Amino acid sequence: MSVTRADARAAHAVGVERLLESYLTVPSTAPVRLAKPTSNLFRTRATADAAGLDTSGLTHVIAVDAEARTADVAGMCTYEDLVAATLPHGLAPLVVPQLKTITLGGAVTGLGIESTSFRNGMPHESVLEMDILTGAGEVLTASRDEHSEHADLFRAFPNSYGTLGYAVRLRIELEPVHPFVALTHLRFHALADLVDAMHRIVETGSLDGERVDYLDGVVFSADESYLCVGRQTADPGPVSDYTGQQIFYRSIQHAEGAKHDRLTIHDYLWRWDTDWFWCSGAFGAQHPLVRRFWPRRYRRSSSYSKLMRLERRFDIGNRLEKLKGRPPRERVIQDIEVPIGRCEEFLEWFLGNVPIEPIWLCPLRLRDDAGWPLYPLRPRRTYVNVGFWSTVPVGATEGETNRRIEREVAQLDGHKSLYSDAFYSREEFDALYGGDAYRSAKARYDPDSRLLDLYAKAVQRR
C-alpha cells in the first residue's frame, strides 16, 4: 500500500471517530441528523434542524484501484471530487448524477440517475459494500453478498434517505472512459416517435449501427423534443465549451434531423451543472449581459441552490407575485419514473395539465435482478425518468398540482423520487415504498428511533 493511500485510510479512520464522537453528544431524546454544508433536497421543513453529526472528515476519496476498477470513497465525498480522482486513471463511476455537489452517500441513500442509467441502472447498483452508521450508533459493513450478515440493510438502504443510517464508506465499481464524447441530438416532432426511438436504442444499445454510451432527452413542447445520444471516443478534434457564454440545453435545439457536437468527458459529465439544467434562468444567469458579468466560478448548481434557499427564506418570489397582483406559487420540483410504454401517455397528460417546460427525460433499466424493496422498480423493465423543476400558481388546496402528479404517476405504475415535497397518505406511501421491508430494517438497525421515520421525513417534512 502506498504512503498516500495509507495516509488517506488513516485520515478516514479519524473522520469516522469524529463522527461517532458527535453521535454520542446528541441527547437520546433528540433526533440525529447530519451537519451538511450543501443539500440537494427540496423538501419544506416544518421545524428547525437539530445539531448535526460531524461529517467533516468524511469528504474525500480514500483510494482508487485502477486495476480492479473500484474506488473506496467516504460517504460525504461529492461527485465532483470523486470524478476528479478517477478521470486521471481513465475511469468514472458507472452513474454520475448531474450536479457536482451531490455526494456519493446521498446518491445511494436517496437514489440518483443519469444518461448511463439505461445500461448501468442507479448509483446504488454499483456499490460492492458500504460501512453504515446505524441509528443504534454502530458502524456496520453491508455488502452485495446476499448471504452476508447485513444483506437486508444493504438492500433497504437505497431510498431510505438517512432514516436507517448514513453511509460512512462505500466501495464502488468504476468503468473505463475515453477522453471525449461525440454527441448526436435527434429532433422529433411527435412524442410517440421520440419514445419509440428511445426504446430501440435502449433495447439494442446502438444507433445506426454505432454503440451508444449515453442517452437522455429534452421535451420543449409536444412538437419539439430531442434525444441526446452520446458515444465515447478517443479521436482528437475540436470541442464545445458550455461553461462560458454558450448554454448547453439551447445548443440542443435545431430545426430538423440530427445535430452533432463534441465535449471532453469531464465537460460532458458536468454539462447540466453550469446552468442547473435550465433553472439558472430564474436568476437571470442566461441573459447575455448578466452572464457576461456573472463570474464563471459561480455558474454552477451550488450557487443557484444557495440563491434559491435565500429566496425561500425571505419568500421573495411570492412577495413579487403579490406586488403584480398574482397568486402565490407552488413548487413543482420532481423526478418520476414510469414504464417506457406509459411515457408518452404521461408526457401528454403533463403538457396538457402542468404549465412547465422544458422537461428532462432519462431512460433507466435496473442492473440487479434482486430488486430494491424501498423503490421497487421491476428488474428487466425499461422506465423513463421525467424531471420537471419549476413553480405553478397555487391551487385550492395545499400541493394541488403535486398531488395530481402523484395520482397520475401511480395510475401509470410509476414511482416518484422523495427528494422533494410529497403528499401521500401513510397507506399509499407504504404500498409504494416497501413499508413492510422498511419497518423490518428499522426495527433491527434503529430500534430506538434515533433517526427520523421515512414517512415523517419525506411527507410530514419534520
pLDDT of residue 428: 96
Would the pLDDT of 15 be above 70?
Answer: yes
Q: Which of 391, 394, 384, 454 lies closest to 419, judged by CA?
A: 454
- 5 has pLDDT over 80: no
Q: Considering all CA atoms of the chain, what is the largest pairwise distance in Å, rounded to the nearest integer?
A: 66
Burial per residue of 395-410, b for 16 or more beta-carbon CB atoms within 10 angstroms, e otherwise:
eeeebebbbbbbebbb
List, for residues 147-176, the tens digit of each pLDDT value.
Answer: 899 999 999 999 999 999 999 999 999 999
Domain 3-177+448-458 has CATH 3.40.50.300: no
What pLDDT digit, counting tens, does each position of 368-427 carry?
888 899 999 999 899 999 999 999 999 999 999 999 999 999 999 999 999 999 999 999
pLDDT in the model for residue 356: 97
- Res 348 pLDDT > 90: yes
pLDDT value of position 199: 98
Confidence of residue 41 (pLDDT cuts 50, 70, 90): low
For residues 326 and 317, is the Cβ–Cβ distance under 8 A?
Answer: no
Grid cell at residue 417: 423520487
The pLDDT value given to residue 317: 77
User: pLDDT-derived band of residue 40, with 50, 70 and 90 as boundaries?
Assistant: low
pLDDT of residue 52: 81
Query: 36 pLDDT exceeds 80?
Result: no
Q: Is the pLDDT of residue 49 over 60?
A: no
Sign of CA dihedral 434, 440, 444, 450: positive
For the stretch 167-203, pLDDT in tens is: 999 999 999 999 999 999 999 999 999 999 999 999 9
Residue written as cell 465525498? 77
How many angstroms separate the CA atoms of 68 and 455, rounded? 39
Task: Tell which wins on pLDDT, 279 or 46.
Answer: 279
Average of per-residue pLDDT across 139-143: 97
Strand duo 359-364 + 61-65: pairing:
unpaired
For the chain, give the mean pLDDT: 93
**Among the listed ranges 4-18, 62-76, 87-101, 155-169, which one has the minimum average pLDDT value?**
4-18
Print the SS3 string covering the chain: CCHHHHHHHHHHHHHHHHHHHHHHHCCCCCCCEECCCCCCCECCCCCCCCCEECCCCCCCEEEEECCCCEEEEECCCEHHHHHHHHHHHCEEECCCCCCCCCEHHHHHHHCCCCCCHHHHCCHHHHEEEEEEEECCCCEEEEECCCCCCCHHHHHHCCCCCCCCEEEEEEEEEEEECCCEEEEEEEEECCHHHHHHHHHHHHHHCEECCEECCEEEEEEEECCEEEEEEEEEECCCCCCCCCCCCCCHHHHCCCCCCEEEEEEEHHHHHCCCCCCCCCHHHHHCCCCHHHHHHCCHHHCCHHHHHHHHHHHHHHCHHHHHHHHCCCCCEEEEEEEEEEEHHHHHHHHHHHHHHCCCCCEEEEEECCCCCCCCCCCCCCCCCCEEEEEEEEEEECCCCCCHHHHHHHHHHHHCCCEECCCECCCCCHHHHHHHCCHHHHHHHHHHHCCCCCCCCHHHHHCCCC
Q: What is the pTM of this model?
A: 0.94
Q: What is the pLDDT of residue 48?
A: 47
Domain positions in the chain: 3-177+448-458
Q: How confident is the model at residue 321 (pLDDT cuts 50, 70, 90)?
A: confident
